Amino acid sequence: MEALMVASRAFVGLAARSLADLDADVTLPQFRTLVVLASRGPQRSVDISNELGVAASTGQRMCDRLVRKGLVHRDRSTSDRRVVTVRLSATGRDLVEQVITRRRAELSRIVAATPKLWQPRVTEALTAFALAAGEVPEQEWWLGWAAGAG
């Protein structure tokens, strides 16, 4: 458990550093919202709140801030005007891409410094851990990176 706690702190630090230099004025919880949208596609704010484990009003305020920053857009359903979803804007997708690229580079540096530790069992354990925590494998992300998706 102690090793997981230390690794968790290292991952949070890595996530914070990957955001810090981008001058995007985005908090870690806000970035987590962007990642939820990138990995799961357009969502209702209540679904984002559930994913983040926060009250619906907190999730709504977070989405409001991200809309003001131009990182997400709101869309009203044509079949039920009461349903509003939130999706990444082109700027939001670019931000997620930049942060993921930075994070991947730092992780690559760390793995390269410790090559003998990364046996298949370690990789399998980390993958199983992430899946148990509800993370979607990166290659399965919705992302919507295709042209015209923003």
| CATH class given for the domain over 2-140 | mainly alpha
Neighbouring residues of 98: CB distance < 8 A, sequence distance ≥ 6? 22
Position 141 scores a pLDDT of 64
Stretches in the chain below the pLDDT threshold 50: 144-150
Position 90 scores a pLDDT of 94
Position 28 scores a pLDDT of 86
What is the rounded average pLDDT for all residues in the chain? Answer: 85
pTM to 2 decimal places: 0.79
Position 12 scores a pLDDT of 86
